[in-house]
């Protein structure tokens, strides 16, 4: 029988009110309201009829609850609670006709709440009833006045313009009564720092007092605590000296080296008994808060970090006014996403999602994207660095491996690691997607590493430092680890010792410590990993990112790319990073086609096959679950061993699960009970879950000779990519068609006598800000690749672009010719010759010279500067400089 409203109230609603601190009592006309303090009065009379429950505190009705039976949806019956609230005429409150401020409607399981004190407040679903203290605390709050004050609180002076924009956008959204919002900021743009500034302004203005800062790793929690302790308010005090900042207990591995271990752990009473006087920030992992709310049964199954000291405690829904969910992009499974949402949904608080990579399900939860600061804009404004692309074309990676009859390979048992030599009795073919999963090519991995080495050594020669390099391997499975193979190969190829190349994955000892060493020290120079994403450790000086792992998740890809976007810390001249796409450029091409807000669903978590069968038996979404079961049976048929087929023959004819799966829908239609008797047989179900599988071998291929080549691509401001030849064609077109836009080009082509330091500076600056990013570095590399000539100078580049017959020269070659021209037929004293050597050295480095150089450059000032040089040249140095500049520009 359907549950009646009376049963719903008694069995479901009354217990929830009692749990929230309301004593449920019937209305008695002989009693005055002071006798009902902290009571939910049933059948309370109003001029519009009796209210199911009237919430009474301090001799006033502060709330109304409308109850409906379980089978009815409560959202649309809030209007009844509104009607009763208007009818409590003796109450002291009046909010535009409502004589009680806090309204609820519920069917005992779902609760809707509406704060009617402001006409723009939206009704919303809440996880439980507010306590009497919670409503008393909220009653005098004036959010409009607090929001006005928010905009008067100054930002920290170190805030960047876009960070101020983000804080103001959130303030505006809160003013507009939004309760859930999303902020998307590119990796490396200071999301945490922005949120610390926001929290300070919100707390000082009184918009929020109890704030929960949620992260998904303890290392991120430690970073957030550090951000609060280093943030300086306008009074010159650190944040944590102005407001209380708490966290969970950390482990030594969560903290940086030499970092003080003085963490303020949140008192449990702050969660279980929130007080109006509390004003604090609590930094916690989502995993810990989930256990606090729902117990260990809700623990995230994939969580690598233990929260052994966490326990279930009774936390009311008003424990926090504001929740910031940092890095809310994480790729949870569907079940974990449900737990994640339940954790946030428990609290009646303003919720701000913070991410670099918004996904569709994240957008669906937070509803309003109130601010976005993307990677391209951050690069354009100089806060992040752009990237160049090197596509590595590997025959093995693109076309797979074909093994001929008679070839010798090693077979590796993935369980024991035992290797055996095998000579193939027939040919075998492995498509590209099986590389590093079923087979590996030693030659392919080595040649790819050698190709990367070529670029790294070139970088080292040019910049005087080895580029910190991060290589993403396909997997790190014991005995067949691609990551281990790459480490060994790179150590062999680079020849700089074991410490120079290291693996950092979850399988190494103290990975966070190794990551910090990679971040802060010269060694290791190369790290091999698989994802390296969940640690929260930044590596600002990273300059090479190598994709030897195929990725289909945009969220994962952008997080991987984000490791290189930060500006250098030890190397402030870091102007870009280089992405090596070892799949011929197809990886980057794939993500060009994916939208910024990815439709990527949560990771699918497979329901146990026994649950699928039980749902068919209970006729729950029967057609869908039947199709799921058919797919599972087909998969088992493909994966099981011959022994399993013999075992299945006790239940299915000849153990042919494929044939059984094909006929399953018909059998369920024709004989549902009989077919389900087989499917629900405990022995059959046990076999479906634990069927014997054939042993799998991993193949090490020594014979295949891979063909590996690479192409450096230039990326313009719009993300368009050019091969060197196409890039130089674009440059030639620009020079020929736009000389009037850059005066220095006209000087080089038509008026070389006007060449000088100012013209050179203008040329470099204006070329660099063109949409095609014609930087000297990009142009020099393109000329090196296209014309096989290194270190072509910028003057040659412009002249050759204008007239192809003009010779490409290095700076040294150009200055040698200029000096020969200027000095031809003249005689010089020994001291003049010394000064000419200095001028030549300066011109090789700078391609121009002026009087100021003689007063500022050590090569000149150390020998007396302009005054001495001018006297040596008989006061004719100005004319001589003019000759040199013109000769350089010819």
User: Is residue 34, in this structure, part of any structural domain at all?
Assistant: yes
User: How sure is the predictor about 162, in pLDDT bands with cuts at 50, 70 and 90?
Assistant: very high
In the predicted structure, residue 534 carries a pLDDT above the cut 50: no
Q: How far is CA 154 from the centre of its chain?
A: 29
Q: Cα(first)–Cα(last) distance of the chain, in Å?
A: 99
Last residue of a domain, one of 76, 108, 138: 138
Q: For residue 785, is the peptide bond before it cis, meaning its omega torsion is within 30 degrees of 0?
A: no
Percentage of residues in the chain having pLDDT higher than 70: 94
Residues 730 and 757 in one domain: yes
Q: Which of these, 342, 354, 298, lies nearest to 182 by C-alpha position?
A: 354
Nearest-angstrom CA–CA distance, 711 and 520: 31
What pLDDT, in 10s, does the model give residues 288-335? 999 999 988 767 655 555 677 788 999 999 999 999 998 664 545 556
To 5 degrees, how large is the angle CA 350–CA 356–CA 360? 70
Nearest-angstrom CA–CA distance, 843 and 889: 11
Instruction: Tell me the residue ranges of DSSP E strands in 395-534.
Output: 401-403, 408-412, 419-423, 428-430, 439-441, 468-472, 501-503, 526-529
Residues 115 and 176 in one domain: no
Nearest-angstrom CA–CA distance, 816 and 850: 18
Amino acid 562: pLDDT = 84
Amino acid 739: pLDDT = 80
Residues 723 and 670 in one domain: no
User: Is residue 619, in this structure, part of any structural domain at all?
Assistant: yes
Last residue of a domain, one of 88, 110, 138: 138
Residues 95 and 186 in one domain: no
Residues 222-229: contacts with CB under 8 Å, at least 24 apart: 222/247, 222/250, 222/254, 222/255, 222/256, 222/259, 223/192, 223/536, 224/192, 224/283, 224/326, 225/263, 225/283, 226/259, 227/192, 227/193, 227/196, 228/196, 228/281, 228/283
Amino acid 662: pLDDT = 92
User: Is residue 435, in this structure, part of any structural domain at all?
Assistant: no
Residues 125 and 170 in one domain: no
User: Is residue 710, in this structure, part of any structural domain at all?
Assistant: no
Residues 120 and 230 in one domain: no
Residues 20 and 154 in one domain: no
Residues 362 and 237 in one domain: yes
Q: Which domain holds residue 851?
A: 813-889
What pLDDT, in 10s, does the model give residues 199-251? 999 999 999 999 999 988 877 888 888 889 889 888 888 998 899 999 887 66
Amino acid 301: pLDDT = 56
Q: Are 565 and 188 in contact (CB under 8 A)?
A: yes
Q: Which residue has the tokens 């949870």?
A: 332
* Eight-state DSSP code of residue 792: B
Q: Where are the alpha helices (DSSP H) in 434-481?
A: 442-463
What pLDDT, in 10s, does the model give residues 360-387? 767 778 888 999 998 889 988 989 998 9
Amino acid 556: pLDDT = 80
Can you name the residues that pair with 40 across neighbouring β-strands?
24, 55
From the DSSP assignment, how many helices (H) and strands (E) are in the chain? 37, 28
Locate 70 and state its tokens.
């379980």
pTM for this one? 0.83
Q: Is 28 exposed, middle or buried (0-12, 13-18, 19+ CB in 10 A)?
A: exposed
User: Is residue 432, in this structure, part of any structural domain at all?
Assistant: no
What pLDDT, in 10s, does the model give residues 856-881? 999 999 999 999 999 999 999 999 99
Nearest-angstrom CA–CA distance, 41 and 63: 10
In the predicted structure, residue 487 carries a pLDDT above the cut 90: yes
Residues 165 and 280 in one domain: yes
Nearest-angstrom CA–CA distance, 581 and 547: 5
Return the percent helix, strand and coil in the chain, to nearest 5. Answer: 45, 15, 35
User: Is residue 703, in this structure, part of any structural domain at all?
Assistant: no
User: How sure is the predictor about 715, in pLDDT bands with cuts at 50, 70 and 90?
Assistant: confident
C-alpha neighbours within 13 Å on the C-beta side of residue 164? 11
**CA distances for 745 relative to 737, 740, 803, angstroms:** 11, 8, 13
Last residue of a domain, one of 76, 103, 138: 138
Amino acid 252: pLDDT = 58
- Domain CATH for 188: 3.40.50.300
- Domain CATH for 29: 3.90.1570.30
Q: Which of these, 65, 54, 63, lies nearest to 28 by C-alpha position?
A: 54
Q: Are 128 and 17 in contact (CB under 8 A)?
A: no
User: Is residue 635, in this structure, part of any structural domain at all?
Assistant: yes
Residues 259 and 335 in one domain: yes
Amino acid 599: pLDDT = 41
| Residues 6+ away with beta carbon under 8 Å from 733 | none
Locate 631 and state its tokens.
């797919």
Nearest-angstrom CA–CA distance, 322 and 352: 8
Q: Tell me what the pLDDT averaged over the chain comes to.
A: 89
What does the pLDDT average to over 746-751?
A: 89
User: Is residue 557, in this structure, part of any structural domain at all?
Assistant: yes
Nearest-angstrom CA–CA distance, 265 and 18: 31
Q: How many domains does the chain have?
A: 6
Residues 733 and 822 in one domain: no
What pLDDT, in 10s, does the model give residues 421-430? 999 989 999 9
Residues 587 and 484 in one domain: yes
What does the pLDDT average to over 455-466?
A: 92
Q: Which of these, 412, 434, 430, lies nearest to 421 by C-alpha position?
A: 412
Q: Are 432 and 456 in contact (CB under 8 A)?
A: no
What does the pLDDT average to over 436-461?
A: 95
Q: Are 280 and 270 in contact (CB under 8 A)?
A: yes
Q: Lowest mean pLDDT: which of 342-351, 467-476, 708-717?
A: 708-717
């Amino acid at each position: 029988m359907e549950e009646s409203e009376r049963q719903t109230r008694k069995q479901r609603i009354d217990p929830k009110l009692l749990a929230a601190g309301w004593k449920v009592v019937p209305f008695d006309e002989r009693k005055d309201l002071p006798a009902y303090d902290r009571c939910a009065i049933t059948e309370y009379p109003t001029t519009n009829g009796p209210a199911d429950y009237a919430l009474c505190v301090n001799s006033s009705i502060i709330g109304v609850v409308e109850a409906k039976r379980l089978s009815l949806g409560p959202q649309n019956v809030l209007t009844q609670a509104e009607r009763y609230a208007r009818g409590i005429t003796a109450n002291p409150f009046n909010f535009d006709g409502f004589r009680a401020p806090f309204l609820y409607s519920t069917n005992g399981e779902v609760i809707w709440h509406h704060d009617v004190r402001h006409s723009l407040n939206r009704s919303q679903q809440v996880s439980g009833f507010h306590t009497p203290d919670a409503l008393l605390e909220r009653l005098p709050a004036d959010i409009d006045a607090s929001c006005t004050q928010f905009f008067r609180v100054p930002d920290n002076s170190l805030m960047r313009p876009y960070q101020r924009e983000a804080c103001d956008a959130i303030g505006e959204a809160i003013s507009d009564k939004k309760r859930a919002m999303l902020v998307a900021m590119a990796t490396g743009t200071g999301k945490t720092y922005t949120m610390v500034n926001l929290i300070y302004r919100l707390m000082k203005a009184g918009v929020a007092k109890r704030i929960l800062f949620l992260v998904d790793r303890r290392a991120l929690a430690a970073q957030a605590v550090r951000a609060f302790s280093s943030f300086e308010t306008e009074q010159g005090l650190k944040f944590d000296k102005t407001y209380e900042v708490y966290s969970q207990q950390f482990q030594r591995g969560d903290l940086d080296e030499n970092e003080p271990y003085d963490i303020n752990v949140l008192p449990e009473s702050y969660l279980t008994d929130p007080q109006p006087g509390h004003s604090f920030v609590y930094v916690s992992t989502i995993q810990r808060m989930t256990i606090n709310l729902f117990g260990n049964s809700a623990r995230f199954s994939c969580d690598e970090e233990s929260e052994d000291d966490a326990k279930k405690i009774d936390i009311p829904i008003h424990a926090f006014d504001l929740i910031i969910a940092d890095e809310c992009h994480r790729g949870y499974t569907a079940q974990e996403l449900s737990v994640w949402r339940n954790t946030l949904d428990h609290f009646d608080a303003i919720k701000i999602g913070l991410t670099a990579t918004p996904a569709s399900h994240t957008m669906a939860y937070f509803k309003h994207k109130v601010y976005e600061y993307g990677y391209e804009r951050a690069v354009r404004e100089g806060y992040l660095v752009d990237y160049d692309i090197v596509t590595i074309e590997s025959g093995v990676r693109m076309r797979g491996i074909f093994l001929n009859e008679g070839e010798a390979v090693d077979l590796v048992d993935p369980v024991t690691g035992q290797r055996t030599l095998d000579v193939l009795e027939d040919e075998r073919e492995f498509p590209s997607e099986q590389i590093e999963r079923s087979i590996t090519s030693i030659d392919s991995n080595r040649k790819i590493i050698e190709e990367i080495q070529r670029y790294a050594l070139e970088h080292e020669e040019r910049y005087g430092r080895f580029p910190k390099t991060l290589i993403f391997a396909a997997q790190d499975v014991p005995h067949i680890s691609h990551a281990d193979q790459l480490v060994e190969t790179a150590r062999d190829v680079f020849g700089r010792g074991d410490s120079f190349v290291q693996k950092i994955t979850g399988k190494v000892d103290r990975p966070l410590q190794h990551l910090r060493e990679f971040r802060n020290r010269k060694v290791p120079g190369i790290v091999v990993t698989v994802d390296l994403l969940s640690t929260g450790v930044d590596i600002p000086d990273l300059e090479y990112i190598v994709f030897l792992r195929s990725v289909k998740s945009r969220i994962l890809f952008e997080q991987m790319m984000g490791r290189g976007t930060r500006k250098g810390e030890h190397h402030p001249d870091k102007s870009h990073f280089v992405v090596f796409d070892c799949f011929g450029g197809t990886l980057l091409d794939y993500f060009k086609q994916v939208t910024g807000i990815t439709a990527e669903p949560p990771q699918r978590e497979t329901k146990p096959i026994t649950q699928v069968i039980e749902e068919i038996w209970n006729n729950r979404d029967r057609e869908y679950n039947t199709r799921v079961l058919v797919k599972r049976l087909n998969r088992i048929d493909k994966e099981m061993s011959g022994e399993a087929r013999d075992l299945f023959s006790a239940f299915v004819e000849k153990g042919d699960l494929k044939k059984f799966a094909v006929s399953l829908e018909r059998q369920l239609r024709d004989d549902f009970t009989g077919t389900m008797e087989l499917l629900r047989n405990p022995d059959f179900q046990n076999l479906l879950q634990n069927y014997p599988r054939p042993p799998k071998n991993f193949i090490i291929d020594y014979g295949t000779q891979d063909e590996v080549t690479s192409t450096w691509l230039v990326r313009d401001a719009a993300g368009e990519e050019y091969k060197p030849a196409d890039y130089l064609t674009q440059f030639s077109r620009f020079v020929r068609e736009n000389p009037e836009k850059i005066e220095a080009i006209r000087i080089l082509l038509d008026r070389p006598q006007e060449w000088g330091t100012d013209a050179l500076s203008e040329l470099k600056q204006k070329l660099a800000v063109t949409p095609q990013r014609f930087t000297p570095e990009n142009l020099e590399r393109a000329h090196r690749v296209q014309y096989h000539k290194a270190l072509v100078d910028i003057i040659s580049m412009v002249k050759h672009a204008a007239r192809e017959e003009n010779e490409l020269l290095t700076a040294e070659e150009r200055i040698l010719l200029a000096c020969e021209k200027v000095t031809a037929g003249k005689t010089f004293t020994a001291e003049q010759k010394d000064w000419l050597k200095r001028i030549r050295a300066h011109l090789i480095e700078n391609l121009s010279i002026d009087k100021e150089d003689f007063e500022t450059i050590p090569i000149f000032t150390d020998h007396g500067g302009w005054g001495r040089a001018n006297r040596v040249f008989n006061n004719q140095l100005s004319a001589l400089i003019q000759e040199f500049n013109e000769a350089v520009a010819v």
